[in-house]
Each structure stands twice: as structure tokens, then as C-alpha cells.
Structure 1
Amino acid sequence: MAELLHITERSLWEAARASGTYEMSTRGRTLAEVGFVHCSLRHQLPQVAALLYGDCDPGELVVLVIDSERLRSPLRYEPPAPGAEEFPHIYGPLPVTAVVAEEAWSG
């Protein structure tokens, strides 16, 4: 199992838990707009959080810990630019059953 992480606003995750799937790609952008759900490996998360959520109250954020073996959609590791470090991308909705833990983000 690859441990994937996705940081998001707590209210969006609570809505996803009620519906059964999470369909945001990244802050302010949906899966439908981008085509995949942005994820990180543990060592990548601080940089991603600072870039996308640096102006948010850390108490409003949650880190989803995803079991890659529970995904129903393709998982690809891709760089944001040629030659850059690769990040995991989920090409479809994230089923809430693939999220094996929730962690508070402390910033």
C-alpha cells in the first residue's frame, strides 16, 4: 500500500463523507475542472500545504490518509513541470472508504 495524503478544508471532507465520494482536486478546484485529485507523499505535504493553504486557519484543515489499494480510479505519479518531483494523482472520485485516517493539520 502506498500512503497518499490530501489536505483539504474540513467542511468539504464532511460533505464528502455524507455523499460517499470526495470530488475536489485542490483548493477551489473540482475534480471535474482539473481531471484528477491532487495528492502528496508525506514529505511533500508541508510544501503543498504552505503553497495552497498558507493563509488558512490550520484548525479548518484536515489531512486525508489514503490507502492506494482501496482506490477504484487510476493512480499516476506525475511531475507538475518537466523534470520536477512527481506527485500522486487520482484520476477519478476518491471513495471515502479509501481514506483510512484523518489527521489534523498543525501548519
Structure 2
Amino acid sequence: MILHVVPLDEWSAAPGLPYAPPSLAAEGFVHCSADEASALSIADAHYREVPGPLLVLRIDESALAAEVRWEGTGDVLFPHVYGPVERAAVTEVLAVRRDAEGRALGLTPRM
């Protein structure tokens, strides 16, 4: 399983289509994380100022049609999905709990 951080509005934009965030068009891949701690760090570093609910998608990489490459620098590698994410590959959607300043505190099941 790999994880992807996404604002609710972005995830909800095209419910019947595979998920294709702006990074796919701009960089050629969807940024993902290997574990919850990394996903929370990314949420904290890159999404603190984003208003509204923030989600983490748990993705079964074996259910993706697109290639997943583990890339990075040195010993730190991140999974990158080189194509859209089929919604059927998303096994769970979690909510990011944030404090008043937008810091990511943890993940909770989304109701």
C-alpha cells in the first residue's frame, strides 16, 4: 500500500473518472508516500495553508494500471505513480486531523 495526500475538493472534483492531480500533468507522476508518518510530514510541510478538509488515500499499488517507481535521493525513496490513479485502487480514504494552525496531527477513518 502507498499513500497520497489530497485536499477533499481535489479528490471530489471528478468522481467518475480516474484521479489525476495537477502534479501528473506538471511532473508526469502522482506523488505518494510509503507510510503514514511520511504522509503526515508531507501534509504538514506542503498543505498546512490549504483550507478545508485534507485526505490521505490508501492505494493498492498492485491494482494500478500505471507504473509505480520508487525514486528519490540517497536513502529516501518515495513511490511515484506514472499515470492516473484508478478509484478502484483506493482501498481507504482517511481524514487528516489538523490543529488550528493547520499542522497535521494524525489520520482518522473518514465517515
Query: If the TM-score is normalised by the length of the shorter chain, which range does it land in?
Result: 0.7 to 0.9
Look up the match of 1:87.
Answer: 78
Partner SS state of residue 69, structure 1: helix
Q: Give the total of aligned pairs.
A: 97
Amino acid in the other structure paired with 1:13: W
Q: 2:32 aligns with which of 39, 49, 55?
A: 39
Identical residues among aligned pairs (%): 36
Higher RCO structure (Cα 8 Å, ≥6 apart)? 1
Q: 2:56 aligns with which of 63, 69, 89?
A: 63
TM-score (structure 2 length as normaliser): 0.80
| 1:5 is the counterpart of 2:3 | yes
Q: Which runs of 5+ in 1 are unaligned?
A: none
Partner SS state of residue 65, structure 2: coil
Question: Over the residues paired in the alignment, what is the CA RMSD in angstroms?
Answer: 1.4
Q: What's the offset of the Cα at 1:14?
A: 1.1
Q: Which runs of 5+ in 2 are unaligned?
A: 98-103, 105-111
Which structure shows the bigger proportion of residues in helix conformation?
Answer: 1
TM-score (structure 1 length as normaliser): 0.83
